[in-house]
A and B are shown apart, each in its own frame.
Chain A
Amino acid sequence: MDQLLYASEVIVNGLMTGVMYSLVALGFVLIYKASGVFNYAQGVMALFAALTLVGIMQGQVPFAHLINAAFGTHLENFGWNVPALLAILLTAAVMVLLAIAIEKLVLQHLVGQEPIILFMATIGLAYFLEGLGDVMWGADVRTLDVGLPQGISETIETATNDWLGYGFFIDRLDIWATIIAAVLVAALVAFSQYTKQGRAMRAVADDHQAALSVGISLQFIWIMVWSIAGFVALVAGIMWGTKSGVQFSLSLIALKALPVLMLGGFTSIPGAIVGGLIIGVGEKLFEFIMSSPDLAGSWFGFTISATENWFAYVLALIFLVFRPQGLFGERIIERV
């Protein structure tokens, strides 16, 4: 009974972690759907958004180090603190500007190129953005606090304790992440299914020439999609930044999104969600079982730990062998 309760707590926590993975994976799916490009820079975009947000909130002068070095000044702060909501809006605006710049400077010149060329361009973009974030805001680890509740939810702990005799430890930030992710996904699905911009977006993803012939501006759609992906990156950046601090390793969470996408399929928004949840639950549960002397210990005679580092990738590998298009991806049909 106790083991079952532990296990269910592990599952709930896994679901919450999964939501965080899904948030990152969503950004990939959006861009992949609209332009057939795997955007390697998505993780760095989340980092860049989080850095910008912290910078704005603390009233930091962008490029302060550069300016100081060049002009011998001692700039650092404007001396004010921007309220979180306003800072989020400003950061969203920065992400839109970034999208416009990416379209003008990179994508526009690569129309009609092979996907691999575009992929290479996004790798370049990732390194550029990482450097830009560093130069603009500095390389220190920052804490991000936009006012989201954090820490163990006592309400849930007492409630479950009274009810089951075992208190569940659930982070309030995770609960909020789940709610925000749900709203975000609902909004994105409504947008892509029911609006003309959404329809145009799907059209562009499918065939550039045909989209042009019905009067869709590729430029506008790309800017729109990259802006949305930038916004999703901002949300992911806020969540991860709040959870583990804004630091350069944040861009590596993009790596965790890869197995999520392989599971869910690169083209499906629900796939990104389900994939994230499966990975989240899977790795937590696997770790719980394999490291427990009572479970793995008594079944196999040994225990292993730190499985969370590799579990997702092994699962993704298995999926690649048996279902390469993922759970929800478009079926790959080869015509002979």
Chain B
Amino acid sequence: MLDQTEGYTTADGRQIGPVLLDLRGITLRFGGVEAIKNISFDIRQGEIRAIIGPNGAGKSSMLNVISGFYVPQDGEVWFRGHKRGPMKPYEVARLGIARTFQNIALFDGMSVLDNIMTGRLNKMKSGFISQAIWWGRAEAEEIANREQVERIIDFLEIQNIRKTPVGRLPYGLKKRVELARALAAEPRLLLLDEPMAGMNVEEKEDMSRFILDVNDEFGTTIALIEHDMGVVMDLSDRVVVMDYGRKIGDGTPAEVRGNQEVIDAYLGVSHD
């Protein structure tokens, strides 16, 4: 079993830190339906953690619990060693948990640049009068924030679409802009809900590379939901497997792949 405080070293030699987010006995119900049944797992500092499972397994619900969009009926969420009370999504975001959405939630009317700048709203401290007249601290702050945003734009290779209204972009690029906006907040924990859904092979490779680079360069802890098993096995350090709201596996990709219950869930098993 893993050490609770120390962390571990991955196969490719990266050092994983102590527990960043700890979910303990999470249960989520919608009316009579139990979407998540008493699930516990942790996410460690610096790791890429995947949540996988067949459709309807409760993966997105899990991510929504972490990001505060759903409030679980039971269980505790611990973040950075503190138990988190019931929180609104925007409060969770201010704690340093950024996310993307399965069905892309961008501000279609704004340019790519403005979209990414919204990710930095909580980094801005100057009063609105000085901002409105573009004076003093506000100016320095805006410039500093723009520089940070430009770095992310360079990093994700979207320089050429900076001024384009997001609504006009193709799907793959939208996904990338959404990632950029989440990164702009300099999150401690980044949640990606199916970052590669609906992409072609080339786009998937790009996105995989970006995810690895983000983790590598900024040291960002990432939790992601993904369907493409090949991608998951390549990217993640540890994997949680869910099925019908239960956790049926948890471990390194190799361990999970050998787990009989996981194989059954994915390939189906005859009940005779």
Contacts and interface: CB of A to CB of B under 8 A. Distances in A.
Interface of A: 187, 190-191, 194-200, 202-203, 205-207, 209-218, 330
A79 to B, nearest CB: 37
Given A190-B132, A214-B119, 16 more contacts: A191-B128, A194-B131, A195-B131, A196-B131, A202-B109, A206-B110, A212-B89, A212-B90, A213-B93, A213-B101, A214-B118, A214-B185, A215-B93, A216-B121, A217-B88, A217-B90
12 contacts: A190-B132, A191-B132, A197-B128, A199-B114, A199-B121, A202-B110, A205-B109, A206-B109, A213-B99, A214-B181, A215-B91, A215-B122
Contacts of A207: 105-108
Task: Report, nearest first, the 4 A-B pairs whose CB atoms are least far apart.
Answer: A215-B93, A210-B105, A206-B107, A212-B89
A125 B118 CA distance: 32
Interface of A, helix, strand, loop or mixed by DSSP:
helix
Contacts, number: 86
Interface string B106-136: 1111100010011101101000100111100
Contact of B101 (A194, A196, A209): A209
Contacts of B114: 199, 202
A217 B92 CA distance: 11
Nearest to A186: B132
B122 A210 contact: no
Interface of B: 67, 69, 88-91, 93-94, 98-99, 101, 105-110, 114, 117-119, 121-122, 124, 128, 131-134, 181-182, 185
B120 to A, nearest CB: 9
A244 B162 CA distance: 50
A125 B88 CA distance: 27
A213 B128 contact: no
A196 B109 CA distance: 17
Given A206-B108, A210-B106, A215 B132 contact: no
Contact of B128 (A195, A202, A205, A330): A195
Contact of B121 (A190, A200, A206, A330): A200
Contacts of A214: 93, 98, 118-119, 121-122, 181, 185
B107 A202 contact: yes
User: Which of A190, A196, A198 neighbours the largest number of chain B CB atoms within 10 Å of its CB?
Assistant: A196
Contacts of B117: 199
Contacts of A199: 114, 117-118, 121
B78 to A, nearest CB: 20
Contacts of B90: 211-212, 215-218
A30 B105 CA distance: 23
A187 B101 contact: no
Nearest to B101: A209
Given A196-B124, A210-B106, A214-B121, A190 B185 contact: no
A290 B99 CA distance: 61
A328 to B, nearest CB: 13
A196 B134 CA distance: 12
